[in-house]
Structure 1
Amino acid sequence: MPPVKGARMAVAALAVAGLSSPLPAVAQAQRQEPTAARPAQESAEPRRARHEEPAGMRQALDATVAAGAPGVLARIDDDRGTWIGTSGTADLDTREPMPREARFRVASVTKSMVATVVLQLVQEGRLSLDEPIGKRLPGWIDGGDRITVRELLNHTGGLATYDRAPEFADPEQYGRRTYTPRQLVDEAERLPRPEQGRFAYSNTGYILLGLLVEKVTGHELSAELDRRIFRPAGMTRSYLPTTWDGIRGPHATGYHLPTGADPGLPGSLRPITRLNPSFAWAAYGEVSDARDLNRFYQALFGGRLVGRQLLTQMRTGVTTPQAPIFPRYGLGLESVGLTCGETWGATGSIPGYQTFSFADATGGRRMTLSVNVQRNDRAVAQLLLSAVDALNRYFCGEPYRLPGGTAKSR
């Protein structure tokens, strides 16, 4: 499985890790970086009613830290108000608390927004979900006349994911380089392809979708996201960088565990906040915060960004190998299998940060959770389960249990 695919590596680890119920651990949640060259318009957030803390939520957040995250931030928004909770630290050296309104790299949650732009173009009659990608982007990939836009959106196009190439083994190296979309696609084309028609997660497909948006609209993808998604949804803290390596506004230091490092040794987690995000771009490059992600899913699931028919298609998913925890992937959306049923949204993982963002069917209840680490060792399984437990305690009002057993079973 690709190393930076939301919770995919974590789910693989479930097969080999001993799973225990979330355990209480640590305690509480500023750090500034230079302003970006093209700052987004900022606005003060209106005061909202304070939401009561869901039962067991503190335990779930503390357990996420105990599982190997330096810190975690969670935000809930619904008609009862807003609740923000943190645990752990924003920086392992300074021990600063997690900022309550921290910005972070949302990674593959970016796909939900890119997919929404594509669906808007379909709604406008400028694209078809079932047209081949080679119609608009001839010569970019072999067999482009047989791979549809829909297949790129739901990862059934049979494309390798470029980040499995040796070039992307060490984020401390590739995170300093600048990549063009052509270079990313070419890296993928040198790798063996998975079977077309079956789910195989591919960042390459979303690089092509970003190029498709630019081809059809004649504008940069970042501009289309701003015009079509960020502004209508009130996402004033979100932007898609190209090569600028910082994160503007309050944020936690991001960490990663290098391949082969002993997680038990002091200093094994390495800071990696600054990254040239050109390697991620349309696939997983956006910067945002929990408030804005909750606003996005409120707008999307509330029918303000695409019509109901297309929204239904976005939430019509193909089966994934990550079932039963993340059982289906639709058109830029994935589901999480909670004890009270499937809930849709997305996860994301990029060196420095992991994100979980989900909402109920109407977008009335939203929760986003961010941890300031990416790790692909065995411990990530428990980290994942603790994050899912936090989601379950909010949406379902009870601890998470794996289907077929208790939370203490494998």
Structure 2
Amino acid sequence: MPLVNGRRLVAALLLTAGLLSPQPAHARARHAEPAGVRQALDAMVAAGAPGVLARIDDDHGTWIATSGTADLDTGTPVPRQARFRVASVTKSMVATLVLQLVQEGRISLDEPIGRRLPGLVAHDDQITVRELLNHTGGLADYPKAAEFDDPEQYGRRTYTPDRLIAEAERLPRPPKGGFAYSNTGYILLGLLVEKVTGHDLGDELARRIFRPARMTRSYLPVTSQDIRGPHATGYYLPDGADLADLRPITRLNPSFAWAAYGVVSDARDLNRFYQALFSGKLVGPESLAQMRTGVTTPQAPVFPHYGLGLESVGLTCGETWGATGSIPGYETFSFADAAGRRRMTLSINVQRNDPAVAPMLLAGIDALNRYFCGEPYSVSPQVKESAGRTDRP
């Protein structure tokens, strides 16, 4: 959820018919079109998304739709097989890998991170692997450092994991024990995986996650600036700028994201990932239950809980688990039902942190709700009260 790296402003405004775009979304459905989802995608574009891609996979087949444009200069449509930076959805994959190592008896969820990685953070003997996974370890979030104010600058630099952790250690720490989103924890988890396995994180993700889940279009770049394969131009909105000032930022050095939010994938592969995870192919039922045991977040009731690398969205038919992500250029929603039989991923080719983004984000939640629950997303007084609330760097 954190924006700049994955957390979003909580949308709390009802969409009206006036937000719907006159431009139709494009889709070639392999099963019946879910009622209202196409209109929700159009609403996202009307509310300021350059373009959006939705993909649904379930027992009835696949449904893909796009709305808006892949490029504001050329007006080309969003590729139906577009790849994108999935941002903090990466955390679900890294957490799954960590849980696999727990199942193998190679690490413990309740061991202190300082046992394997001494000296990287203060009080490392008091911060456990579990607390890194669910953001309760009391670590500062390195993207909040001034170093990361301008993506056009930091997106050209190369960062090591140690440098990212050092940037966080110079910041004030939040209280330990409560939920405080920290990408720093996942950088430590990436280093932990490498320490325990003796292999690069990208290689371990490919071997343990991507291949078993048949995610053939996914990879973890370290410094490579380009997105392989078809993709939409990514945009970001500088702080204080108007929507007319969206800037392209597709090419960047993703070393600042790495284990926290660096994976590149597409909607098909993300749906395959949650299908494999929730059906028990990647971890056992005990591990999966722990991943879905969440702490309360400041974004409740829209995003009420965060577990071990998984977050929930509070839909009208109940909590649904998956993850969201935001990185300069792209925002992602990816969720599945409990058994992984019904999956939906949304990719938006923009990152916005402005207060006016609320209708765009709410339209994305509406799309999820219309598919999973079969009805529009309803806004409660609690949700209205959370308008503009943010937990972003």
* Amino acid in the other structure paired with 2:168: A
Instruction: Give the AA of the match of 1:141.
Output: V
Q: Distance in 2 between matches of 1:120 and 1:146?
A: 23
**Structure 1 residue 214, shift from structure 2 partner:** 0.1
- How many Å apart are 1:52 and its aligned residue? 1.2
Give 1:402 shift: 1.9
1:313 to 290, 293, 297: 290
- How far 1:51 moved relative to its partner? 1.9
Residue aligned with 1:195, SS: coil
Residue 87 of structure 2 corresponds to residue 107 of structure 1: yes
Identity of aligned residues (%): 78
Distance 1:49 1:310 in 2: 35
Asked if 1 retains the 8 angstrom alpha-carbon contact of 2:5 and 2:257, the reply is: no
Distance change in 2, residues 1:202/1:354 (3 Å): same
Are 1:399 and 2:376 matched, yes or no?
A: yes
Cα distance, 1:3 vs structure 2 = 4.1
C-alpha deviation, 1:403, in angstroms: 2.9
* Amino acid of the structure 2 residue aligned with 1:379: A
Residue pair 2:250, 2:329 contacting (<8 A) in 1 also: yes
Aligned partner of 1:204 in structure 2 is 184
Q: What is the CA distance between 1:150 and its match in structure 2?
A: 0.1
Secondary structure, in 3 states, of the residue corresponding to 2:322? strand
Aligned to 1:121: 101
Gaps of 5+ in 2: 388-393
Q: Report the residue type matching 1:270 in the other structure.
A: R
In the alignment, which residue of structure 1 is the partner of 2:20? 24
Matched residue, 1:93: 73
**Aligned counterparts, 1:39-118, within 5 A:** 50-118=30-98
Equivalent residue in structure 2 for 1:220, among 200, 205, 215: 200
CA contact (8 A) 1:2 1:161 kept: no
Q: Is contact 2:223-2:254 (8 Å) kept? A: yes
2:209 maps to 229
Partners of 2:48 and 2:115 lie apart in 1 by: 46
Please point out which of 334, 337, 340 is paired with 1:363. Answer: 340
Measure the CA separation in 1 of the matches of 2:3 and 2:280: 33
Q: 1:221 is matched by which residue type in structure 2?
A: L
Q: Which SS does the other structure have where 1:183 is aligned?
A: helix
Match of 1:41 in 2: none
The Cα offsets for residues 327-346 of structure 1, whole Å up to 9 and x where unpaired, read as 00000000000000000000
How far has the Cα of 1:260 moved from its partner?
1.9
Distance in structure 1 (CA, Å) of the matches to 2:147 and 2:3 = 13
Residues 406/20 of structure 1: CA separation in 2 closer, same or farther (3 Å cut): farther
Aligned mates of 2:304, 2:354 — CA distance in 1? 22
Offset of residue 378 of structure 1: 1.8
**CA deviation map 1:50-108 (0-9, x unaligned):** 12110011110000001110000000000000000110000000000010010000000
Task: Give the residue type in structure 2 aligned to 1:126.
Answer: R
Q: Which one-letter code corresponds to 2:42 in the other structure? A: D
Aligned residues: 383
> Do the aligned residues in 2 keep the contact of 1:7 with 1:384 (CA within 8 Å)?
no
- Opposite residue 108 of structure 1, the aligned amino acid is S
CA contact (8 A) 1:108 1:349 kept: yes
**Contact kept? 1:254, 1:372, Cα under 8 Å:** yes
Contact 1:2–1:164 (CA<8 Å) still a contact in 2? no
The answer (yes or no) to whether the contact 1:301–1:311 under 8 Å persists in 2 is yes
Q: 2:258 aligns with which of 257, 277, 281?
A: 281
SS at match of 2:268: helix
* 1:132 corresponding residue in structure 2: 112
CA drift of 1:19 comes to 4.1
In the TM superposition, what is the alpha-carbon distance from 1:20 to its structure 2 partner?
A: 3.4
Indicate if the aligned counterparts of 1:298 and 1:366 stay in contact, CA closer than 8 A: yes
SS at match of 2:212: helix
Change (3 A) 1:339 1:137: same
Alignment partner, residue 146 of structure 2: 166
Q: Which residue does 1:335 correspond to in 2?
A: 312
Shift of 1:28: 3.5
Shift of 1:259: 1.3
Q: Deviations over 1:220-253 (max 9, x none)?
A: 0000000000000000000000000000100000
Other structure's SS at 1:233 match: coil
Take 1:19 and 1:256, find their aligned partners in 2: how far apart are those partners?
24
Counterpart residue number, 1:190: 170
Contact preservation (8 Å) 2:248, 2:329:
yes
SS in 2 for 1:65: helix
Please give the root-mean-square deviation of Cα atoms over the aligned residues, in Å. Answer: 1.8
Q: 8 Å contact 2:106–2:196 — kept in the other structure?
A: yes
- Residues 293 and 169 of structure 1: CA distance in aligned 2, closer, same or farther (over 3 Å): same
Amino acid at match of 1:128: S
How many angstroms apart in 1 are the aligned matches of 2:383 and 2:199? 51
Supply the distance in 2 between the matched residues of 1:7 and 1:366 (Cα, whole angstroms): 21
Counterparts of 1:105 and 1:318 in 2: how far apart (Å)? 26
* CA distance in 2 between partners of 1:327 and 1:393 (Å): 19
- Structure 2 equivalent of residue 141 of structure 1: 121
Per the alignment, do residues 405 and 186 of structure 1 end up closer, same or farther by CA in structure 2, a change over 3 Å counting?
closer
Letter of the structure 2 residue corresponding to residue 20 of structure 1: L
CA deviation vs aligned residue, 1:349-400 (integer Å, no higher than 9, x gap) = 0000000000000000000000000011122111110000000000000000
Higher relative contact order (CA closer than 8 Å, sequence separation 6+): 2
- Give, in whole Å, the separation in 2 of the partners of 1:346 and 1:91: 26
**Which residue is equivalent to 1:40?**
none
Amino acid aligned to 2:169: E
Task: State how far apart, in whole Å, the 2-side matches of 1:282 and 1:359 are.
Answer: 22
- In structure 2, the partner of 1:4 is 4
Partners of 1:83 and 1:296 in 2: CA distance: 17
